[in-house]
A and B are shown apart, each in its own frame.
Chain A
């Protein structure tokens, strides 16, 4: 049995927990994409008034003029979701998290547990996380059950009745791209049952292999498994200040300390961190973040400090700073590089050259090359390097 857990209104709930005063009015979370301000997530009340994620903020404000607008900090929501995932690991290690702004999902597989025990665990999870929980033999049916259930309630789909259960639900629940959804609409299909009733050959002819996969899901045939979850590694270092800081020199000293602190957690000679996040909490409670992905990874305190300092300079500072946190993620092993300082001894080179000459003599006609990269960044591989005859 597969369990789908959905955390409805996740971002909105987090913001309301952080600022209880936001409970009194509709809430919109906004995000900046380029020069546009868009709606990131909305509460139930704003949704009922027609506000949808992805809308432009002025339009959303026109639809819901009483709404409070708060800038969304997705990395904080993701971090909170990761904490929830860690707690879910107490139940099983077979789980697949999927972050979505409106409601993050997590599929769980309890293996060979009895169905009664699974339902008991689901009740516990639904209550603990205030989550919508769906239980079914397949991932998609479990997802539909979760999405259509109420928070804190477990919806179970009996084995063999997946197709009948999902049939009346809208096609928008399928994991489709916009174009496929538009074509479904042009064909007049609204529900999963309508798609399931079509012959698979016809769906394949019209929508290709992707359409056939969707057709199988609509028919309740879902053999996708839940893969084991490996928590991503992250290293954090930070500091909260009793007296919020305003002096740039003090802030930079704190950043340097954080950089040195976080670099003691791993060996930069063996691995580098490729994503760096600086989280700044202001005295008024507002949190802003700056995330960077340096090309060659973070491997030294000096480089980390330079990146942090640069990132800090770009943040809009409107109040004294109450806390700083540095997070490094996305660790990768350092690639070895042949060191120029350690040239092979001359006699090795001479020996190799003689061996090469002997081989070339015995294998007359065999070409021996040195490759030279051209460095002009040509797109075609043959323009990116050339061969020069060795010796």
Chain B
């Protein structure tokens, strides 16, 4: 018997003996639950992580830590995920370094933002996490349509925008990421320390902040 089968049998035995759902798969957020960001300090700040069934906007320029935060959360989910990448900015190599299993990630490159939001509407009830990285503001009406489906789902929707006035309507959580300093290993830059600040949150009070460090070489590779 393989390890996986042994594991499933053990889980099944435990569930039969104690209760139906004593052991469940981890890291798949249920509506209202939280999906870990992968950084303990940020999880503590966000009361557990990104809210499932809600839209989280990550505001940050390139290398601010916003994408790393999103990819780290992506690496933590065990469900299916999709990256909507209208600007063709998604870097699979970097995602792999942050622990993302590319086999479970679908990357869509629609021509425009309306197309991206339409795809998101279709995927929102089936995916655990949707990631949308856009340099432009999202159209309000299409976002509102998406939010109706999103709130009825268990999906975490992360939207990365470069500036605060591009935050989409209806975002239940708005975070601002900024890079504080580069981390240097001898002469090589091996990562950076970033700070994430809550700009707006329904559960989390605004203005709270947490710091986290991103290392590129943690898996033994260098850029």
What is A's interface to B at a CB cutoff of 8 Å? 270-271, 274, 293, 295-297, 332-333, 335-345, 348-349, 351-352, 354-356, 358-359, 362-363, 365-373, 381, 384-385, 387, 390
**Which residue on chain B has the smallest CB distance to residue A377?**
B221
What is B's interface to A at a CB cutoff of 8 Å? 3-4, 7, 25-28, 36, 38-40, 72, 75-80, 82, 90-93, 95-96, 98-111, 115, 118-119, 122-123, 125-127, 185, 212-213, 215, 217-220
| A332 vs chain B, min Cβ distance (A) | 6
**Which residue on chain B has the smallest CB distance to residue A351?**
B126
Q: Is the CB of A336 within 8 A of B72?
A: yes
Known contacts A296-B219, A333-B40, A362-B118; is-contact A344 B108 (Cβ 8 Å): no
25 CB contacts below 8 A, A to B, read: A274-B215, A333-B39, A333-B213, A335-B38, A338-B100, A338-B101, A341-B4, A342-B26, A342-B78, A351-B125, A352-B123, A354-B126, A356-B123, A356-B126, A359-B118, A359-B119, A366-B110, A368-B106, A369-B109, A371-B90, A372-B102, A373-B96, A373-B102, A381-B91, A390-B107
Partner of B119, one of A339, A343, A351, A363: A363
| B31 vs chain A, min Cβ distance (A) | 15
List the count of A-B residue pairs having beta carbons below 8 Å apart. 138
Docked complex Cα distance between A371 and B102 (Å): 6
Q: Is the CB of B72 within 8 A of A335?
A: yes
Known: A344-B28, A370-B107; 5 extra A-B contacts, CB below 8 A, are: A295-B219, A343-B4, A362-B118, A366-B108, A368-B107
| B110 vs chain A, min Cβ distance (A) | 5
Q: Is the CB of A385 within 8 A of B123?
A: no
Known contacts A355-B126, A358-B122, A370-B107; is-contact A336 B218 (Cβ 8 Å): no
Q: Is the CB of A366 within 8 A of B99?
A: no
Chain A residues with CB under 8 Å of B28's CB are 344
Q: Is the CB of A356 within 8 A of B111?
A: no
Q: Is the CB of A355 within 8 A of B122?
A: yes
Q: Is the CB of B108 within 8 A of A368?
A: yes
Chain A residues with CB under 8 Å of B119's CB are 359, 362-363, 366
